A and B are shown apart, each in its own frame.
Chain A
Amino acid sequence: GNSVTQMEGPVTLSEEAFLTINCTYTATGYPSLFWYVQYPGEGLQLLLKATKADDKGSNKGFEATYRKETTSFHLEKGSVQVSDSAVYFCALSDRSNTGKLIFGQGTTLQVKP
């Protein structure tokens, strides 16, 4: 069945460091891929998405590229800020089915000043 695997956290970085959070997936068909973010005390928010191979999603300085050959969708940011501290979830949606999202377990990012 479809699944998503994220690197385990927590990830602790200093401000302005480079961020990578790895995400790989297993899916039949051609899923859409997403990164959602959950800030402390808030609900899940869509950060970025990509709907087909080689697409790059980007938002707020974050980027992720849909790599079909490696079944990956790694999240990157060149220079993190304290305000980026949150839990990040990678997810896929099987568009041939109901469109339900399948999430990874989440990666906690803590950025220290």
Chain B
Amino acid sequence: GAGVSQSPRYKVAKRGQDVALRCDPISGHVSLFWYQQALGQGPEFLTYFQNEAQLDKSGLPSDRFFAERPEGSVSTLKIQRTQQEDSAVYLCASSFDSVETQYFGPGTRLLVL
């Protein structure tokens, strides 16, 4: 079946622009996670949804980062007033529930100039 998909795959933004990154999880997966992966580093947790409820947003680096999953399926990660330090790959993962294996999307590579 279809895996996790993310769009866009690449995004170039000027500093100060707002961006929106989309994640389509595997159908039926209750849990959805967002991670940020800086160049040469391992992914770092940003936020977690169980259905439409955002149960953990402890990893969001600032109040410029906002995520939603209004109908418990597709999720959007929004970054307002982007800064150069926001440049990274943003990964989305979904799982049947929080303790099961997470399946990752291909990521969105964000470059802020």
Chain A 4-47 near chain B by CB (<8 Å), digits 1 or 0: 10000000000000000000000000001010100000111110
Chain A residues with CB under 8 Å of B95's CB are 99
A100 neighbours in B (Cβ, 8 Å) = 33, 45, 48, 56, 59
Task: Give the CA-CA distance A103 to B44 in the complex, in Å.
Answer: 7
Cβ contacts under 8 Å, B103 to chain A = 46
CB distance from B108 to the nearest CB of A (A): 11
Interface size on B, residues (CB 8 A): 27
Our pick among B41, B45, B56, B105 for the contact of A101 (Cβ within 8 Å) is B45
Closest to B4 in A: A43
Number of interface residues of A (CB under 8 A): 24
Residue among B43, B44, B98, B107 making CB contact with A98, cutoff 8 Å: B98
Secondary structure at chain A's binding surface: helix, strand, loop or mixed?
strand
The answer on a CB contact under 8 Å between A43 and B91 is yes
A42 to B107, CA, bound (A): 9
A49 at the interface (CB under 8 A from B): yes
Q: Which of A4, A49, A93: most chain B Cβ within 10 A? A: A93
